[in-house]
Amino acid sequence: MICDWFNKWSLYCPEKTALTEVDSTTSFTYKQLNNGTNWLCHYFKDRHNLTKGDRILVLADFHAEYVNLLGVAQKVGIIIVPINFRLSATEISFLVKNSDPSLIVVASHYKHLLSEVPYLAEHKLLEFEQLQVLLQENCDEAYDFPAEELEENHPAFILYTSGTTGKPKGAIYSHGMMLWNSLNTAIRLQINSDDVNLNVMPPFHTGGWNVLTAPILHFGGTLIMMPKFEADKVLQTLEKEKVSIFMAVPTMVRLMRESAVFEKIDFQRLRYMIVGGEALPVSLIEDWSQKEVLIRQGYGLTECGPNITSLEANDAIRKRGSIGFPNFYLQTKLVNESGIAVDKNEKGELWIKGPIVTPGYWRNPEATEKAIVDGWFKTGDILLKDKEGYLYVVDRIKNMFISGGENVYPAEVEQCILKHESVKEVCVVGVPDLKWGEVGKAIVVFKEAKTDISAIQNFCLQHLAKFKVPKYFEVMKELPKNDTGKIDRKLLSATDEVKSTHLT
């Protein structure tokens, strides 16, 4: 397959803006984007001897020039390895060793994170700032570069997981996955060349590349880059740049709603806001609805898609908590522990099959064999399908704990607690208990400081089976978040119970 998207759009609409960056003079038309990418292909091949299959590890913020590497991946077949710059030097050293890059592109302010990489001198380094200058200098000259023929399973990215169950695994994200995910996304979200997307997601997360960035570029839209999320600036940019489609995680949605700028913004051009990662509280959906902003919730994961399901905006309230229906070119099923499909309204693990499934994990055949059975990817997520066919995420298998022989899904308990008017945020984790094996602990953030926590326990007792009601409650001012704005459940699970209130 040949997927030289930048070249096609440079022919169809050469002077159309492809990329801009907030608070920067950086802007590329499709012609400039293609010219710069073609020059970069020659530069990598001639100066650094890079060929198909070689890895380029990148440690930098998501600036516009980073996107040129996607074009190089399509034209040459090099593999992009975006690294989380919030990791420690020790963690990054492991990722460098595992991916074995032929070139490391690093922003000068992140160089110290390479301090524990053994034999660093043997790795070729290129400062990201130099790459930016070179692309700016060469984007106006016409360069040709014939694209390589690539297999559908040839990697475009290696995207490392968070490593919550041990060493990080490098999910292979192939060119075939990118193509079919883009088609699925465009069909379900009606993406076309008139769309303008603001990207605030990080480059080391599949959401930064594949939720909207790749589909927008595939369909000839305009991409606006914002390397760092700032609620006020995002709101102002949505209005100023007439953004038509935008993706955020729930924490971002809440911070934008809490901004003093929120009420002043005209969202008339914004067709959708795509929200994923966690369920969005109904109160937030209603607040944005009052500003006539439609919210589309969905489900995805690094190893598949990532855009797997989507809920129509007009179902956001009626089917609150649902992730909607599966997208076009994929199959799904919910199965029990024996791999047998469950009936409607029964909980089961979600399995996914289709051209959007990863070929496997980089240099990790054991993890690949464990995750993929007869082409079906085992997500580890527990879902339920209602009588109308709408899907609901119940929880992660690894989040579930067993209390007195009963399965408890923290997400179910969290959704109950969030319905209480005084609760702003909550996370429920399982903790050891001598009598029951495990019991729940709820870490709660209140809207008002002086709130009686016993009221939350009573609320749970009214709406949940007793074995699901947390035994311990802890109050925090703010829940810790990971790099993509999700609640850091791993960190909260590791905290002690010094500040916990034991309620009986």
CB atoms within 10 A of CB 350: 28
Least confident window among 75-79, 185-189, 394-398: 394-398
pLDDT at residue number 120: 78
Half-sphere exposure of 351 (CA within 13 A, CB side): 21
Higher pLDDT, 503 or 454: 454
Residue 364 DSSP code: -
Q: Which of 403, 393, 398, 496 is nearest to 443 (CA)?
A: 496
d(CA 148, CA 140): 23
Partnered with residue 392 across adjacent β-strands are: 322, 384
Predicted pLDDT at 60: 98
Q: Which of 80, 61, 83, 67 lies closest to 20 in space, CA to CA?
A: 67
> Which pair of structure tokens corresponds to residue 173?
């994200």
Highest mean predicted confidence (pLDDT) among 80-94, 218-232, 452-466, 468-482: 218-232
Over range 57-69, report the average pLDDT. Answer: 98
Nearest CA to 393 out of 373, 375, 410, 376 is that of 410
pLDDT the model gives residue 164: 43
- Any residues with CB less than 8 A from the CB of 119 and at least 6 apart, and which? none
Strand partners, 335: 341, 349
Strand partners, 487: 481
Q: Residue holding tokens 């997601």? A: 201
Phi first, then psi: give them for residue 105, nearest 5 degrees: -105, 120
pLDDT average, residue stretch 433-453: 88
pLDDT digits (tens, 9 = 90+) for 268-286: 999 999 998 777 888 899 9
**Which residue from 85, 78, 219, 203 is spatially nearest to 147, judged by alpha carbons?**
78
Rounded distance between C-alpha atoms, residue 299 and residue 309, angstroms: 5
pLDDT tens-digit readout, 121-166:
677 999 999 999 999 999 999 999 999 999 999 999 999 986 544 6
Please give the structure tokens belonging to residue 359.
Answer: 């070929």
H helices present in 259-331, as ranges: 282-290
Assess whether pLDDT exceeds 90 at residue 114.
Answer: yes
Question: β-strands 125-127, 103-106: how paired?
Answer: parallel
**Better pLDDT: 173 or 404:** 173
CA 469 to chain centre: 31
Task: Report percent pLDDT > 70 for the chain.
Answer: 96
Whether the CB-CB separation of 127 and 106 falls below 8 Å is answered with yes
The pLDDT confidence band at residue 496, using thresholds 50, 70 and 90, is very low
Instruction: Dig out the tokens for 124 from the structure.
Output: 């070729």
